[in-house]
Chains A and B, each alone.
Chain A
Amino acid sequence: MFQVNRAYPYIFYLSLAIYLFSLFWGLFLTPEDFVQGNSYRIIYLHVPASFISQSLYLAMAIASAVYLIWKVKLSVYLVRSIAPIGAMTTFIALISGSIWGIPTWGTWWVWDARIVSTLILFIMYLGLISLHDSFNNYEKADKFLSILVLVGSVNIPIIKMSVEWWSTLHQPASITLSEKPAIDLVMLYPLFGSIIGFTGLIACLVILSSKLQIIKREKNKSWVKDYV
């Protein structure tokens, strides 16, 4: 049988190697951008972090729906364990975006639709954590958590489409499913590598965090006592 515990070290070291290699490739082996010079290189952190922060929310929304419909307890443990990781990656996306904004836009913050909707995502992650922790009854906490996750999921298409719907300072997406990437191949390969590596590292965090949640929630069960 497949065991996450056994696969974990391989996933971790492989993802770490891929991310560090892509980072080295992107930072030292690719040419400068024709407009932005060296400052564009922050995409090797900013893009994976932003991509993951939205993907994690999508995963939480699916897990919440599974919990509400089929009452699978594991899926709501997953929702609770993803939330702090989502908050962290959104924070990285906001900070790296601010750092990128200073040399390119000339400001670290602007009330732009893309940025505000991402800030809302960050606050939502924090709100979901505190909502869940404020109940002393797990059944109620799980129910309200998953309902609120579903309500908040409207923000994800808003973040995605914000650069199309409003005139934002933030540029539109460079990589889309329908069109040829607007980023040159020599920069695109390390970018893909950094997204894959970063995703793997975050997956490892999700595994650890959900293990913690399972043990915390099942602490009275005999198997947990044997395990710990």
Chain B
Amino acid sequence: MNEFLQQLINGLSLGAVYALIALGYTMVYGVLRFINFAHGDVFMVGAFAGMHFGRWLKPFAAAWPEWLFASVVLLGSMLFCAVLGILIERLAYKPLRERPRLTVLITAIGVSLLLEYSGQLIFGAAPRGFPSLITSTSISGLGGLRASNIQLIVLVVTGLLLLGLHLIVMRTRLGLAMRALSLNPTAARLMGVNTNVVISFTFGLGSALAAAGAIFYASLYQAIDPFMGVLPGMKAFVAAVLGGVGSLPGAMVGGLILGVVETLVVGYSKLLGIPPGYRDAVAFVILILILLFKPSGLFGKTQREKV
């Protein structure tokens, strides 16, 4: 039982990262009905932005408490990626707004490759150590449970970010416009919604969350490289499908489930007879099962229209 809870903690902190990335896929799908395959690479840029911004900031922040420094690095990276996401949409996707979806999808793959290889050109291909923003300590809990403070911080801050997102989407004017646009773009335009503004806002928000996920991921695993976004990106995409593409609670829950299942499969690999090297296959087995048995996902609504 204890070991199970232990794995659960590990799984949830990984799942939190997946959830943060998955939200970006799902939000963009909501307003534009396409999967932004470059999203995982925005996540990668978030990690590098955090690292370089942190290095630059360090001399000025010598007297700052650790939490303040970490928060500023987190926010800086989120802001950088928000701008990057908005630029990607403006430059690469917006000119193709009236074209077939497939055109945009292929463009997204192109943007993804561009970011990966630009990253390789600028930062080199070798993995780099990610500086620890918060000194890692181990916390022992009831019954010999152990978690690192970083894992707990990741869970708490993710919770805060999700709460913030919920408030933005449910309580603000732009959030209402986002929901209206995803339900009926034509009607939203007739209400006076400037779709370009809402689409930019959505890309900015999704990219910022991916950057937060990247800082957490890099803090948990302490190594980053230009291709680090590929697998988490694909897994977060699976998480979005699992939750039901277009559904925000779906992306959150899908991400957490995926993180936990993946961790459990590795943790119990002996018992299950699955070698731990298969951890990356878990997500894709889930994807196949979901597409076979419930393509609309856990929270997805099957489209029905009243005529």
A and B bind: no
> What is the interface of chain B, defined by CB distance below 8 A to chain A?
none
